[in-house]
Structure 1
Amino acid sequence: FILIKLGYPPAVAVSITLIYRLMEFWMPMALGALSFLVKVNKLLMRIIPAVLMLCLGVVNIISVLTPAIKERLVFLENFLPIEAITASNYFVLVAGLFLLVTAAFMLKGLKMAWYFAVSLCILSLLGHLSKAIDYEEALFSVFVLIILFSSRKQYYIKHNSKLRSFGIQTTFLSIAGVFIYGCIGFYFLDKRHFEIDFNWLQSIKYTFQNFLMVGSSDLVPNDAFARGFLYSINISGLLSLSFLVYTLIRPYINSEQTTDEELEKANALLLKHGDSSLDYFKTYRDKLLYQDDALEGFIAYRIAGNFAVGLEGPVAAPDDKIALLRSFDKYCYEAGLKSIFYRTSADQLDNYVRLGKKKLFLGQEGVVDLTTFSLEGGSRKSIRNAIKKVSDQGFATKIYNTPVSDGILQRLKSVSDDWLRDTQREEIVFSQGVFIWEELKQQTIITVENKEEKIVAFLNVIPSYVEGESTYDLIRKTADAPNGVIDFIMVALFNYARTAGFKSLNLGFAPLSGLVTPHNFPERSMKFAYEKIRSFSHYKGLRSSKEKFTPVWHDKYLIYSDDYDLLQVPNVLSKVIKP
């Protein structure tokens, strides 16, 4: 307006204004956004494209539902027939609906979803230009395309090839069925329904248009029967195409199982290279085992969603661990999985840092020095009182060596079931065991029994592959067990391990505890929850129950690759601990 008042022709004034806006606002914004995306971590590189896809889907739908600019539409009609313009509106609308769905799959990092997103953006770009020269929406489509290509490396998770083949076959059969239904229907319909006596070419044309939900201006239903016939083709087309999209972008799911031969080889490797208290659980039946023929070692893991969750780290010679981790990462990448490792020791962190991975503090593991442990002194008074109280009530400990009789195992099973029921818990696996009759039969069992030999508490001793260290797995008691029974049985375990020649005993994991100086936002959140939120108070109780034995605490970490992974880790871990 001001430029026109100064004497500039309207076309020149508009051009100057647009160039000014481009240089002063749009270009700096675009360059700033690209610069931000280059530097930002991979969390936003996964989220931003999905959000933009969602926005583009909404833009598409709104653009179709709002009237076009009359001048542009009149200009476009000089080049395209009205049928093509109408079809473009339908394609933009359909693309918008599929964009909303695809955005959700983009968050999962699916490779096929990325291809779909690019295709839908190109379709939106062409559709906006051919339906009413909506260059604003078209430019937004171009911007989304640029973001998609800049973040393409974040989308690597494979699709399910078997389901894809099934989906393609099913879709083609559906298309064939609908086309036969539509063509025959149109051809034999009475003229009064559409005022058209359809020939075969018209039947094929209108079936194809309605299958793709494009419609036609010259196909007007005269009654409810005719409208229902068109709706049946529309709905069949929508369901067929939606099923095809789902089967194409559904993530790959690994369903391998560990063989007896692999377990036998892994157990032999444990005897040779085992060095952790968690190694015993790495050959549990819930685990999958990754082995590289070129390396001597294995990694125990479970799959949940798109994650391969490794337990602690590799069992291998020290010089082979990094190579095995690198090989496992390559396998996961090719299988469309992301690798994370749960409860990794601090002394193993260098291996992961060298591979560019990140760490998150999870808690600490307590180890008691049996060579110095004693019940003497004021700090042990509460333990001595608990032992005396339980002993005065007529309870005593017993040790059952292998093989444990079926009669004892039946009594232990009763205690275990009682404990699960009273505590409202379920068996969990991965980093701990469950009550398996055959396993416990081959382990040393320590029980607490009354004078009538009723078992009120028990624990099972399991192998620790740390030299000179003993540990246990299950520790369970009945509802009527006396107070202090856990301290009572733990001291019995200390005495047993010391008599057996062990120098230390692993007390197990205390989640969230021991975090003194948090280094990032997730760790600060964990520390706050542990200290301030009541629902996390049971972790404090677990820590204090171990702290009374004055153990040496060792830090444990979660190993992951991208910050975005942390959003999914709680759900992933809740799945891998289920039997």
Structure 2
Amino acid sequence: MTAHESSSTDAPHSNRLIAFLARFRFYLTWLAMLLVFAMMAVAVYKLTHEVRYDEVVDALAKTSWRAIGLAVLFTALSFVALIYYDLNALDYIGRKLPVGPVAATAFSAYAIGNTAGFGALSGGAIRFRAYSRLGLSPEDIARVIAFVTFAFGLGLLAVSSIAALVTAPRLASIVGFDAYYLRLGAVAVLIVLGALLFVGRNGRHVQIMRIRLRLPDTLTSSRQFLITAADLAVSASVLYVLLPQTNIGWPSFFAIYATAVGLGVLSHVPAGLGVFEAVIIGALGNAISLDILLGSLMLYRMIYHVLPLTIAIVMVIVSEARALAKHPVASDIGNVAIRLSPPLLSAFALLLGTMLIFSSVTPTPDTDLDILSGFIPLSVVESAHFLSSLLGLGLVIASRGLAQRLDGAWWVALLCGVFGFLFSFLRAVALGEAAFLGFFVVAMLLNRKRFQRPASLFSQVLSTPWIMAIGIILAGATTILLFVYRDVDYSHQLWWQFEFFGEAPRGLRALLGVSILSGAVAIFSLLRPAFNRPDDVTAEDIARASAIVDGQDNADANLVRMGDKHVMFSDSGRSFIMYGIQGRSWIALGDPVGDREETAEMIWRFVERARDAGGRAVLYQVSPALLSYCADAGLRAFKLGEMALVNLATFDLKGGRLAGLRQALNKGKRDGMEFSIVEREKVPAIMPELKAVSESWLAHHQTREKGFSLGAFDEDYVAAMPVAIIRMGERIVAFATLFLTDTKVEASVDLMRFAPEAPRGAMDFLFVSLIEHLKTAEYQWFNLGMAPLSGMSKREVAPVWDRIGSTLFEHGERFYNFKGLRAFKSKFHPKWEPRYFAVAGGTGAVLALMDVTLLISGGVRGVVGK
């Protein structure tokens, strides 16, 4: 076999491997995270092979209150620095917001991000919820999220490199690495960062391939570096003051801490759990007693992660308590805290559930067991211990529903919290655990009105990330169990030993129960029954939807009359979503139609219905007002273009601004064109003429009918609405179907067809005449439709999607008349309003757009053959 033949044979195998990795990259990423956590857990277990649980507890108890007080103080200073990340980002994009709401938002975002991991996503969702209510556009919010994410990463690199450069000899002796190479690597990183700082001076732009970025100016970069350095310095001091006195100086420790934080962030394991500990133990294990080091790490987690999240919940409780007491909440801080209560309580439930699971595999102090043995039967203690672990899993599962504001999740979490509170006294006199659970129950009761979505928690299936998160929790519980009872020899008899002081059997049974229940939940989620495709829309459905359309403001909602889309009504029947299905994509067209109070619930229901069917939820051509609801439902938004809206109250052909349109109107009249409106009841009489114009237009343009977001010439559809026509003599040469509603807030057109013999300028004449007619009829706005890819951001840290869109807009004329379409609409001097499409998860955006294109074009044939 020749070398060429060998490479040809290997190519298909390589292609299949690449295709496999691309197809399952999402699942493989989560499996890799679980593997990383497992490896780190094994590393920690082996590194601490000579440490015993009792020694860790003793070391923890010996920590001075002075050290704890200093740790709390440094934690507060760290979060002050973190708040300045957001303030600096807002200054960078040129937006000013009140400091109070920004501080509350940033504090909550970091409290959740530090606990749940994926700071850019979990913290980003928090920022989107809050900042959208404070008036920031989606583009500005995306730039804030990008700024704080990259600022932390680059700042961490810079600070770590400087620390490593200064303390290289000491750091090398700790980690067992040559000091020369440490300094060489640090210098290389600093040179690259210095070059970026130099290139970006005065806010210069740089071109990286086809992406143009505006780098922060020198002042912004310097200020951000100081903020990052201060944040890392005080957060490192939180752990440093909890450690005993050693010969390791603070600078050396700071370098180790920064490395551990960086690796924890890169691992994407929630809060860097296991990864951070493994690095710290590996670096400091020879200099500090391992039992003391483990105790300090546990206390660090409590102070730096649990305490801020608890404070954020306190903010919510105070805000809700003031509202219940009918105290006027004038402060924006209170409004932001109330807005963020579902995600905060969700993170707290996840934390408490993990706490209950972990405590079920750790021994109860002998003093507590002595108290319980005096007046509580063994069977009650055993049952409370076993059930507490299951309640912990219940809280973990319910936390997902709390983030979605499900009323069923609220009930499950509340009951788990109440029973967990009671069992904390029956299985052990766990006052701290009971305090946290009681605090959680109070917070849940005060926030009852935030969880009004009438959806069953048990109808919700866990997504792959949640299943993997539960897997990480179980792996952590298993590691703790093996660590705590490493001196107990395993035997089958342990499962059947029931004694007051028999802690190992109790922990084994609790872990088994949680594992079985979580396995059942995972299997149910992964092997959920197939969802039947929804029934086609009926004439009755169209009539119900049309009645809703007539009573609201969105003229384009008249597309429901086409009958080519499914319709999902709200429980009250006052609202609906129209959608189509293409491939795996469930594509909703526009905002929910009808009662605005039901908007959030309609979005949630649509996303859940698509998910239950194994599909991908897509919202197409939605307005900016819907983006905060999309963020709540876990959808990622991308800009599609801009909608052109003409203000009819200010539209006036007099003067020089609209001179071109006035000339087009006068020229059309001179050419013999006559404009008129045919009411819907009279449309059937002219249907044959309209059909002839439509067929000649399709033939002339060598195209076919579209669908979904565009109407097609169907006689029943055309007859369901008024039609604007242009006559030349007695013959109709052009027409447009009108979208109107009874509120007269907005009007638009759908089908626009011109006969080949229609005079040039007929389109301008039709639009100007129609606008004049609608203005006389006292309509407020005329919707000219969307200009695709228009208005994409080219500035600073704009998303890659925007940069691709702006490039296509500038250079894609051979594929689509992007500039020409915008130029035509611009003649009317409209108000440009952005339109978006939002996708569940955001990872399938390109596939979702392909499905939208196929749905509009009627399949591949429609795309290829126009």
SS at match of 2:675: strand
1:512-569 CA-to-partner distances (Å, cap 9, x unmatched) read 1122446311221011011122324512111111110111111100011223211212
| Alpha-carbon contact 1:157-1:336 (below 8 Å) kept | no
Q: Choose from 585, 606, 610 the match for 1:328.
A: 606
Distance 1:517 1:412, change over 3 A: same
SS at match of 2:662: helix
> Does residue 573 in structure 1 map to residue 852 in structure 2?
yes
Cα distance in 2 for residues equivalent to 1:29 and 1:372 = 60
Cα distance in 2 for residues equivalent to 1:379 and 1:440 = 35
Q: Choose from 616, 632, 654 the match for 1:354.
A: 632
1:414-447 CA-to-partner distances (Å, cap 9, x unmatched) read 1111111112222112222111222333432222
> Does residue 492 in structure 1 map to residue 783 in structure 2?
no
Cα distance in 2 for residues equivalent to 1:308 and 1:280 = 20
Cα distance in 1 for residues equivalent to 2:770 and 2:673 = 15
* More relative contact order, 1 or 2 (CA 8 Å, 6+ apart): 1
1:457-499 CA-to-partner distances (Å, cap 9, x unmatched) read 1112222476432222111112222111111111110122122
For 1:438, give the aligned amino acid: D
Structure 2 equivalent of residue 533 of structure 1: 812
Residue 341 of structure 1 and its aligned partner are, at CA, apart by: 0.4
Output aligned runs, 1:58-73, within 5 Å: none
Cα distance in 2 for residues equivalent to 1:556 and 1:28 = 36
Q: Choose from 830, 833, 837 the match for 1:551.
A: 830
> Does residue 506 in structure 1 map to residue 783 in structure 2?
yes
Q: Choose from 680, 685, 707 the match for 1:402.
A: 680
Cα distance in 2 for residues equivalent to 1:548 and 1:360 = 27
Cα distance in 1 for residues equivalent to 2:773 and 2:38 = 65
For 2:803, give the aligned amino acid: R
Structure 2 equivalent of residue 459 of structure 1: 736
1:80-107 CA-to-partner distances (Å, cap 9, x unmatched) read xxxxxxxxxxxxxxxxxxxxxxxxxxxx
Cα distance in 2 for residues equivalent to 1:294 and 1:549 = 40
Output aligned runs, 1:332-347, within 5 Å: 332-347=610-625
Structure 2 equivalent of residue 521 of structure 1: 800
SS at match of 1:483: coil
Cα distance in 2 for residues equivalent to 1:442 and 1:297 = 20
Distance 1:494 1:159, change over 3 A: same
SS at match of 1:351: helix
Cα distance in 2 for residues equivalent to 1:408 and 1:523 = 45
Cα distance in 2 for residues equivalent to 1:157 and 1:343 = 32
1:220-241 CA-to-partner distances (Å, cap 9, x unmatched) read xxxxxxxxxxxxxxxxxxxxxx
Residue 575 of structure 1 and its aligned partner are, at CA, apart by: 2.5
1:258-296 CA-to-partner distances (Å, cap 9, x unmatched) read 233333333343345x33222111343111112343674
> Does residue 256 in structure 1 map to residue 256 in structure 2?
no
Structure 1: give runs of 5+ residues left out of the alignment: 1-26, 43-109, 115-148, 162-251
SS at match of 2:680: coil
Distance 1:485 1:326, change over 3 A: same
Residue 345 of structure 1 and its aligned partner are, at CA, apart by: 0.4
SS at match of 1:574: helix
SS at match of 1:446: strand
- TM-score scaled by structure 2? 0.38
Q: Choose from 570, 576, 580 the match for 1:298.
A: 576
Structure 2 equivalent of residue 318 of structure 1: 596
Distance 1:475 1:379, change over 3 A: same
| Alpha-carbon contact 2:643-2:832 (below 8 Å) kept | yes
| Alpha-carbon contact 2:793-2:803 (below 8 Å) kept | no
| Alpha-carbon contact 2:542-2:560 (below 8 Å) kept | no
For 1:357, give the aligned amino acid: L
SS at match of 1:534: coil
> Does residue 289 in structure 1 map to residue 558 in structure 2?
no
Residue 402 of structure 1 and its aligned partner are, at CA, apart by: 3.2
Q: Choose from 631, 641, 648 the match for 1:363.
A: 641
Q: Choose from 672, 694, 712 the match for 1:416.
A: 694
Cα distance in 2 for residues equivalent to 1:428 and 1:422 = 16
Q: Choose from 382, 385, 388 the match for 2:660.
A: 382
1:202-236 CA-to-partner distances (Å, cap 9, x unmatched) read xxxxxxxxxxxxxxxxxxxxxxxxxxxxxxxxxxx
SS at match of 1:577: helix
For 1:491, give the aligned amino acid: V
Structure 2: give runs of 5+ residues left out of the alignment: 1-31, 41-116, 123-462, 468-517, 859-866
SS at match of 1:321: helix
Cα distance in 2 for residues equivalent to 1:276 and 1:33 = 53
Q: Choose from 475, 479, 482 the match for 2:752.
A: 475
Cα distance in 1 for residues equivalent to 2:562 and 2:525 = 30
1:94-143 CA-to-partner distances (Å, cap 9, x unmatched) read xxxxxxxxxxxxxxxx99xx9xxxxxxxxxxxxxxxxxxxxxxxxxxxxx
For 1:500, give the aligned amino acid: A
For 2:737, give the aligned amino acid: N
- TM-score scaled by structure 1? 0.55
Cα distance in 1 for residues equivalent to 2:615 and 2:39 = 28
Range with bigger deviation, 514-523 or 297-306: 514-523
Cα distance in 2 for residues equivalent to 1:155 and 1:514 = 45
Cα distance in 1 for residues equivalent to 2:524 and 2:603 = 22
RMSD: 3.6
Structure 1 equivalent of residue 704 of structure 2: 426
Number of residue equivalences: 356
SS at match of 2:535: coil
Structure 2 equivalent of residue 447 of structure 1: 725
SS at match of 2:563: coil
SS at match of 1:336: coil
Residue 386 of structure 1 and its aligned partner are, at CA, apart by: 2.5
| Alpha-carbon contact 1:430-1:576 (below 8 Å) kept | yes
1:167-191 CA-to-partner distances (Å, cap 9, x unmatched) read xxxxxxxxxxxxxxxxxxxxxxxxx
Residue 253 of structure 1 and its aligned partner are, at CA, apart by: 6.8
Cα distance in 1 for residues equivalent to 2:527 and 2:763 = 49
SS at match of 2:677: strand
More helix by share: 2
SS at match of 1:373: coil
1:394-426 CA-to-partner distances (Å, cap 9, x unmatched) read 222233223225452211111111111112222
